[in-house]
Chain A
Amino acid sequence: MGRVAIVGVGHSKFGRRTDVNVAELAFESIKGAVEDAGIDKKEIKNVVVGSAGGWYEESLPAVIVNEYAGLDSVGTMRVEAACASGSAALKAACNSIASGEGDIAMAVGVEKMTEVDTMTSVELIGRAGSYTWEFENYGMTFPAYYALYAVAHMNRFGTTEEDMARVAVKAHHYGSMNPNAQFQKEITIEKALGSQVVSWPLKLYDACPLSDGSAAVILASEDVARKLTDTPVWVRGIGYSSDSANLSRRPDYVGLGASVEAARRAYSIAKVEPSSVDVATCHDCFTIAELMAYEDLGFCKKGEGAKMIREGETEIGGRIPVNLDGGLKAKGHPIGATGVSMAVEVTKQLRNEAGSRQAPIKNGIGLVHNVGGTGHYAYVTILSRD
């Protein structure tokens, strides 16, 4: 298998994008990625579109997006791995190059979640478990899924609502420095703790928003990447795994088994240790999810996620800065776009292009952790400068 590098990245503004339709929204990041890579778009032979879909009017987003951007007769597909659809798109695009199918491919993540009313969006995400056994009679919601984890984690390890609020405060702090973030305002612990309960003990400020947004990365084979850029960011390894749709079949509710397994595979393929990661994006769809991610990814021991946030170990200057783009919490979480957006952020960090929210890069290694559903899917992608 050949080596593959990210040679171009593009990112739309995330938020409530009532000014654009899905194709126009995807165009923003595709154009950015093509310009960043310095290629002619006709050189792209394969486009993989990550989008969960259902909340916007188009049923076949891949062809809609390609047509609008003038990507004629490309090989294409839409992939779905719930909130990890973007990482799945990246993996599929990456594989096409590694297998020798072509030299340049693109992964585009796009979602428009606000064209339907909020309660319908809540419903569409809530149905994303085991429909018959969890939704039909019980009306599960996405916050409810993570609240079940939060209560178990609090009960077992003494994690508190304040600890979760600290994650939100950090996210908003870095989000305020990211012009593409949905929320660009700092918040306080008091404000987070005083916000409306969504699914107890999770409150509004524990939850990522409903978002519209897109992100794109252009990938190239080793030879082509070296010709195109002096700063290729290599895809060193992608680990992925899954877990039961039905939550009641899981052994416990204090971590995501799929994340643990995806991370183990990614570290093994990339031959790196958690301790050599300079910067990471973790899937913080809810604040508790970020704390569990620290543990599941091996940044700390099981049960010590709260200690990491309390001690500032995941801020700039800490051991492993996490979500310096504001995370899903403040940057926004347009489901299909998120995994690609994370890869864009880590690429910029590894290129030292993140400006005021730049992490110190020592080993040249970054990590993208992207969860689909409540750990139904998990992807861990390790990127590196060398």
Chain B
Amino acid sequence: MSGDPALHSRRSLTLRFDIPISRTKEFWDALREGRFVTTKCKECGNVAFPPQADCSRCMSSQFEWVDLGKEATLVTFTRVQITPASFVENDPYVIAIAEFKGGTKALAWLEGVEAEKAKPGMKVKVESRTSKEGNPYYVFVQA
């Protein structure tokens, strides 16, 4: 720290958001059951990921849920060594982007693979996880 005089403020601010998921609740429910699904527009056939109830291509709000399957191909990745403040209790983690059949991509942790041994083009599969707070999320693991 510098030696400059500072008013060390006494007022701290904690922000915690309640993020609405009503429109995409099926995604999170399916994830709890180990399925990885997303939205497909009934008007134009656009498959979106992340899922969205309103089509960004034709603006229709008519959609159905489609299963993306489990298999994906690693596109790129990194190992995060310096983590954000709210992740300081985590060990360094590997973040990857992988592509499902049909071209849909997702970003998630890549578990069980050293960053040095990962390689674009590597086969991975998506798996469900539950946080200690009970929230579902997904990760990639080596196929």
Q: Do A253 and B97 have beta carbons less than 8 Å apart?
A: yes
* B84 contact set on A, CB distance < 8 A: 119, 122-123, 126-127, 135, 139, 141
- Choose one: A57, A139, A155; the contact of B87 (CB below 8 Å): A139
Tell me the B94-117 residues at the A interface (CB within 8 Å). Answer: 95, 97, 105-109, 115-116
Q: A160-204 CB contact bits vs B (8 Å, 1 = yes)?
A: 000000000000000000000000000000000000111111100
- Supposing A119-B85, A141-B84 touch, asked if A248 and B137 sit within 8 A by C-beta, the answer is no
Q: Please measure, in the bound complex, the distance between the C-alpha atom of A104 and the C-alpha atom of B90, giving whole angstroms.
A: 52
Q: Chain A's nearest CB lies how many Å from the CB of B112?
A: 16
Q: Please measure, in the bound complex, the distance between the C-alpha atom of A379 and the C-alpha atom of B106, giving whole angstroms.
A: 27
* B65 contact set on A, CB distance < 8 A: none
Q: Do A199 and B19 have beta carbons less than 8 Å apart?
A: no
A249 touches B (CB below 8 Å)? yes
* B33 contact set on A, CB distance < 8 A: none
Total interface residues in chain B, CB < 8 Å: 38
Q: Do B82 and A138 have beta carbons less than 8 Å apart?
A: no
Q: Do A123 and B86 have beta carbons less than 8 Å apart?
A: yes
- Choose one: A119, A141, A149; the contact of B80 (CB below 8 Å): A141
* A302 contact set on B, CB distance < 8 A: none
Q: Please measure, in the bound complex, the distance between the C-alpha atom of A95 and the C-alpha atom of B109, giving whole angstroms.
A: 43
Q: Do B95 and A138 have beta carbons less than 8 Å apart?
A: yes
Q: B75-93 CB contact bits vs A (8 Å, 1 = yes)?
A: 1111111111111101001
A132 touches B (CB below 8 Å)? yes
Interface hub of B49, B78, B93, B135 (most chain A Cβ within 10 A): B78
A356 touches B (CB below 8 Å)? no
Q: Do A248 and B76 have beta carbons less than 8 Å apart?
A: no
Whose C-beta in chain A lies nearest to the C-beta of B135?
A137
Tell me the A116-175 residues at the B interface (CB within 8 Å). Answer: 117, 119-120, 122-123, 126-127, 130-141, 143-144, 147-152, 155
Tell me the B33-73 residues at the A interface (CB within 8 Å). Answer: 49-50
Q: Do B81 and A248 have beta carbons less than 8 Å apart?
A: no
- Choose one: B49, B75, B78, B131; the contact of A137 (CB below 8 Å): B131
A246 touches B (CB below 8 Å)? yes
A247 touches B (CB below 8 Å)? yes
Q: Do B86 and A139 have beta carbons less than 8 Å apart?
A: yes
B22 touches A (CB below 8 Å)? no
Q: Chain A's nearest CB lies how many Å from the CB of B43?
A: 20
* B80 contact set on A, CB distance < 8 A: 139-141, 143-144, 199
Q: Chain B's nearest CB lies how many Å from the CB of A377?
A: 18
Q: Do A16 and B76 have beta carbons less than 8 Å apart?
A: no
- Supposing A144-B95, A253-B75 touch, asked if A122 and B85 sit within 8 A by C-beta, the answer is yes
Whose C-beta in chain B lies nearest to the C-beta of A207?
B82
Q: Please measure, in the bound complex, the distance between the C-alpha atom of A151 and the C-alpha atom of B95, giving whole angstroms.
A: 12
* B97 contact set on A, CB distance < 8 A: 148, 247-248, 253
Tell me the B1-17 residues at the A interface (CB within 8 Å). Answer: 1-2, 4, 6, 9
Could you jot down 28 A-B contacts, CB within 8 Å? A18-B1, A19-B2, A119-B85, A122-B85, A123-B85, A123-B86, A130-B50, A134-B107, A136-B19, A138-B108, A139-B87, A140-B80, A140-B107, A141-B84, A143-B78, A148-B95, A149-B76, A150-B78, A151-B77, A152-B76, A197-B81, A199-B82, A202-B78, A246-B50, A247-B97, A248-B49, A248-B50, A248-B97
Chain A interface residues (CB < 8 Å from chain B)? 16, 18-19, 57, 117, 119-120, 122-123, 126-127, 130-141, 143-144, 147-152, 155, 196-202, 246-249, 253
Chain B interface residues (CB < 8 Å from chain A)? 1-2, 4, 6, 9, 19, 49-50, 75-88, 90, 93, 95, 97, 105-109, 115-116, 119-120, 131, 135, 137
Q: Known pairs A18-B1, A198-B81. 13 more at Cβ < 8 A?
A: A19-B2, A119-B84, A119-B85, A122-B83, A123-B86, A132-B50, A139-B84, A139-B93, A144-B78, A196-B81, A197-B79, A198-B82, A202-B78
